[in-house]
């Protein structure tokens, strides 16, 4: 019998942590909510939530040295899943209300306001899963729950062999934007799986299924 995968929900002051933990448990993970360095590094998977402004999330992450922990996990090929602003901070920069904030820089690009007449983009929307997506296996045509006004709207990462091509998923609200990215050990979704009913639980289950010893 295989053991349950251990997932740490990074506790750095961002909201929505406990609903994320419950969703991960429903998806089959053994979950711990903490910023403890040893727990974060030893977990099979790290879940990075994110609610609010890009700058505030970056400041909160750095306050608990979450940026260093994430970098060390990824350098060792240890899986990380970011959600909402927890996805946005993996890009180089975020621009909100004219404020330009440096992100974690794992991916090139800028997070900026969606070119839509109605913001925030709030509610259920479809996505266009990227080729070879593990996250969306079996749920390619489902809807997911979004709450955001900002997003990355271009994907410019140039990947050369032997590294695999990332799987990039798109959605649309006023224009196309990145709904999810799967790039080696780093995956992220702009929508909230924990608010996306059964489809979100299945997506989290798909991610948990990719975690290895």
User: Does the annotation mark 84 as catalytic?
Assistant: yes
39 CB-contact burial (10 Å; exposed 0-12 / middle 13-18 / buried 19+): middle
Catalytic-labelled residue, pool 106, 142, 182, 194: 194
Catalytic-labelled residue, pool 30, 42, 84, 140: 84
- 8 A C-beta contact, residue 31 and residue 9: yes
Phi, psi angle pair for 44, to nearest 5°: -65, -35
User: Does the annotation mark 154 as catalytic?
Assistant: no
C-alpha 146/C-alpha 169 separation (Å) is 14
- 8 A C-beta contact, residue 191 and residue 126: no
Q: Count other Cβ atoms within 10 Å, centred on residue 30.
A: 14
User: Does the annotation mark 59 as catalytic?
Assistant: no
Give the active site residues.
84, 192, 194
């Amino acid at each position: 019998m295989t053991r349950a995968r251990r997932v740490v929900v990074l506790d750095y002051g961002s909201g929505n942590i406990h609903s994320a933990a419950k969703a991960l448990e429903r998806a089959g993970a053994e979950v711990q909510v903490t910023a403890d360095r040893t727990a974060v590094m030893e977990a099979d998977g790290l879940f990075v939530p994110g609610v609010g402004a890009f700058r505030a999330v970056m400041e909160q992450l750095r306050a608990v040295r979450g940026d260093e922990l994430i970098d060390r996990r990824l350098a060792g090929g240890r899986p990380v899943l970011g959600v909402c602003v927890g996805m946005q901070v993996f890009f180089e920069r975020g621009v909100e209300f004219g404020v330009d904030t440096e992100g974690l820089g794992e991916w090139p690009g800028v997070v900026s306001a969606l070119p839509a007449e109605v913001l925030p983009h709030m509610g259920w929307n479809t996505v266009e899963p990227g080729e070879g997506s593990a996250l969306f296996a079996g749920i390619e045509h489902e809807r997911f729950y979004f709450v955001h006004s900002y997003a990355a709207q271009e994907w410019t990462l140039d990947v050369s062999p032997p590294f695999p091509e990332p799987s990039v998923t798109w959605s649309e609200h006023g224009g196309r934007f990145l709904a999810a990215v799967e790039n080696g050990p780093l995956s992220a979704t702009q929508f909230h799986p924990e608010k996306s009913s059964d489809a979100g639980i299945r997506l989290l289950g798909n991610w948990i299924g990719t975690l290895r010893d």
